[in-house]
Amino acid sequence: MRIPLSIILFASASTLFAQSLVPSEVSISTPLPSPVFGRLLRPFHLEKRMVAPARLTNSSRLDSLISGGNLYLTVQDTISLALENNLDIAVQRYGPFLAQEDLRRALGGGILRQDISIPVAAGPVSVSPIGVSGNSSGLAAGSGLASTAFLVGSGPNPVSLDPNIGASVTFGHFSTPQTNLSLNETTSLVESYRNYSVAYSQQFLTGTAISTSYSGTRYSYNSPSLTLNPYINADIDFTISQSLLQGLSYAVNNRQIRVARNNIKVSDLTVRLQLVTTISAVLNLYWDLVSFNHDVRIKEQALAIAQRLYEDNQKRVQAGSLPPVEVTRAAAQVSANEEALLISRTNLAQQETVLKNALSRTGVQDPKFDAVHIVPLDSIEVPKTEEIRPIQDLIQFAVGHRPEVEQTRISLENSKINLQGTRNSLLPSLSAFAELTNNALAGALNPIYNSCCGAPDPYFLGAAGTVLSQLLGRNFPNYSAGLSFNIPLRNRAAQADYAMDQLKLRTEELQLQRSLNQIRVDVKNAVIGMQQARVRYDTAVNTRVLAEQSLDSEQKRFQFGATGSDVTTVIQAQQDLANDQSLEVQAMASYIHAKIDFDASLGQTLDVNNVSMEEARSGHVQRQSFLPDSVPGGRQ
């Protein structure tokens, strides 16, 4: 029993994209057939297949996390919002469906389209405040990503695998003047005819093509010299042809189908690449926002300390224990700290806007969403120790988990498949054909027959039943068979295509090696980055502790009037502490960026952050979000 193409595609799509019960954001539906013609047209796939409109609204999760004018976010809620609302991920979801429809074209014998590849979009980046956010190596942004392998290639054209059914009806009426009355015995021969024909044709992956047709024509004349009038002339024709050289190979004729199936895998890997890129970028945004909040608090503390020193100096000047110039110095420091706090708050506001845009389909278009402040609920935690596996184990792990490696390998496989077609096009064209035709003729006795030619043969007297009997009885068969051989002289186009495809194959072999080499570099650099970030953080913590002790000592010496202690020394100690606190925040941000890059270099970003591919494809995250009771404005 032959399984309909629609069932095959539906089963394939279900396996790839609907393994869970979560509804998919992208869907293609077929309307119910009309009661009269729908069921007749369904086998020929003439009904429209409708793609659901794109969702341009945000998920309900976003509103559930807003309370009291604040948007409270954990890391997991940030990832969930990105999976549900980020536009880069939403756009990439259409890639596997486009590849699935391209497979449908190939299964029908169509040439693959080249306009369905969706490139991986680089993720959003943080604002660039001085001295807060560390530099990311950019691994998550997609360095060395393989291009999607949508090959069309050259070689013999793919065979048309969808059967064709055709029918035609023709009516005619002709009046022809006659100068010789001895033939038709009329000065104006009037002919009326009706032709009915139906045909069926199909090609197969073996290079075989078959066609069969029926044609019947009813003729009617005004001539008395015809024995049969009206009469029916009909024939049934069956033709089969087979390619014997070019186009004979099954592997050549189904190469578009194999490439299309590989492209579905590539599209799925591209979705994974987009997820890694976007999730890594969103995590960088979130942790930078945490760092900016820390920096604002540091600047507020520095301003408060400078303000207290200014007020104390005013009192001492009034008491006569300090010269007035010390008040001016303290006031200048207050002004400098106010400017630093303004810059820090500006960076924080800009960072919130960037993060909002990454987590919403409407960006900051909604005034309500634009007005809320993001309150991150998680803080950066740097572990006391870092256990890193041996570098060779990490490289081996990365080679097996980085999706761009598999993309490059699939592209290499597609090039090998395409090479089969161009190699086959070097052969001459040789095809064999056979044709069988059965003819029939029957009609009624001409009512105006003048018996000029004797009595008609009773065998041909009859109607449609007589015609059918003659066709099935093969009373008037025609047979023909033959070979068709064609040799293109020089054949330079095919030779050039074959050489070019070999050159492309060699370049992709080198690209695969380059990708593997780049992965080794990425992993080593990520490990070095982690190690440097830890050392930098430990150093920053120790420096900040020493700065706190130094400021405390200078403040006490100044209060007790110790020799060599003045306002300038205290202000410098305050500045040193604020700078060292900012450096500590920067070191924390550098560490978390290094950790994100480390996960991306190993291809474990999605696993580490518990991202489900099924939920990512569907755009619906089943995890529920709840506001904790302890946050300001939280729900009770």
As a whole number of angstroms, the distance between CA 465 and CA 526 comes to 85
Rounded CA Rg of the chain: 40
Cα-based distances in Å from 520 to 276, 381, 481, 606, 622: 18, 28, 63, 20, 36
* pLDDT level of residue 412 (50, 70, 90 thresholds): very high
Distance in angstroms (rounded) separating the CA atoms of residues 618 and 445: 73
Confidence of residue 273 (pLDDT cuts 50, 70, 90): very high
What is residue 383's three-state secondary structure? coil
Residue with tokens 């449609």: 464
Q: Which residues contact 217 (CB under 8 A, 6 or more apart)?
A: 193, 194, 195, 196, 232, 233, 234
User: Once rounded to an integer, what is the mean pLDDT over residues 48-73?
Assistant: 88
Least-confidence region, from 247-251, 452-456, 488-492: 452-456
- The arrangement of strands across the sheet holding 188-203 comes to 164-177, 188-203, 208-221, 228-243, 429-445, 476-486
Tell me the mean pLDDT in the region 168-183. 87
| Candidate from 415-429, 475-489, 529-543, 550-564 with smallest mean pLDDT | 550-564
Taking only the tens place, the pLDDT of each residue in 118-165 is: 899 998 998 865 445 444 444 544 444 444 555 556 677 888 888 999
Residue 134 confidence (pLDDT): 44
Q: Determine the pLDDT at residue 2.
A: 41
- Report d(CA 348, CA 107) in Å as an integer: 54
Buried b (16+ CB within 10 A) or exposed e, 182-215: eebbbeebeeebebebeeeebbebebebebebbe
Cβ(212)–Cβ(236) under 8 Å?
A: yes
CA angle (543 as vertex; 540, 546 as ends), nearest 5: 150
Q: Is the pLDDT of residue 406 over 50?
A: yes
Q: Which residues of 464-478 are buried (b: 16+ CB within 10 A; e: fewer)?
A: eebbbebbeeeeeee
Model pTM above 0.85: no
Where in the chain are the domains?
Answer: 1-53, 164-203+208-246+429-486
**Sign for the pseudo-dihedral over CA of 600, 273, 129, 357:** negative
pLDDT tens digits for 332-386?
989 999 999 999 999 999 999 999 999 999 988 888 888 999 999 999 888 887 7
Residue 520 has pLDDT above 80, yes or no: yes
Render pLDDT for 304-329 as a digit per residue (tens, 0 to 9). Answer: 988 988 888 898 888 887 888 888 98
How high is the pLDDT of residue 113?
86
DSSP labels, 584-607: HHHHHHHHHHHHHHHHHHHT-HHH
Q: Residue 199: pLDDT above 90?
A: yes
- Whether residue 502 is predicted with pLDDT greater than 70 in this model: the reply is yes
When pLDDT is averaged across residues 472-495 and rounded to a whole number, the result is: 92
Burial of 450 (0-12, 13-18, 19+ CB in 10 A): exposed
Task: Give yes or no for a contact between 205 and 246, defined as CB atoms under 8 angstroms apart.
Answer: no
The answer, yes or no, to whether residue 197 has pLDDT greater than 60, is: yes
Residue 109: name the closest of 41, 199, 9, 205 by CA: 205
Reported as a pLDDT band with limits 50, 70 and 90, residue 12 is very low
The dihedral over CA atoms of 362, 364, 370, 375, expressed in degrees to the nearest 10, equals: 80
In this structure, the dihedral spanned by the alpha carbons of residues 367, 369, 371 and 374, taken in order and rounded to 10 degrees, is: -170
Q: Which of 29-38, 352-361, 614-623 has the lowest mean pLDDT?
A: 29-38
Cα–chain-centroid distance for residue 493?
A: 34
Per cent of the chain over pLDDT 70 is: 87
Please tell me whether residue 324 adopts helix, strand or coil conformation: coil
Classify 450 as helix, strand or coil.
coil
Task: Annotate 173-240 with three-state secondary structure.
Answer: EEEEECCCHHHHCCCEEEEEEEEEEEEEEEECCCCEEEEEEEEEEEEEECCCCCCEEEEEEEEEEEEE
Distance separating alpha carbons of residues 633 and 113, to the nearest angstrom: 53
206-210, 287-291, 543-547, 575-579 — which is least confidently predicted?
575-579
Largest interatomic CA distance in the chain: 151
- Give me the pLDDT at residue 140, please: 44
Closest CA to 253 of 165, 156, 124, 381: 156
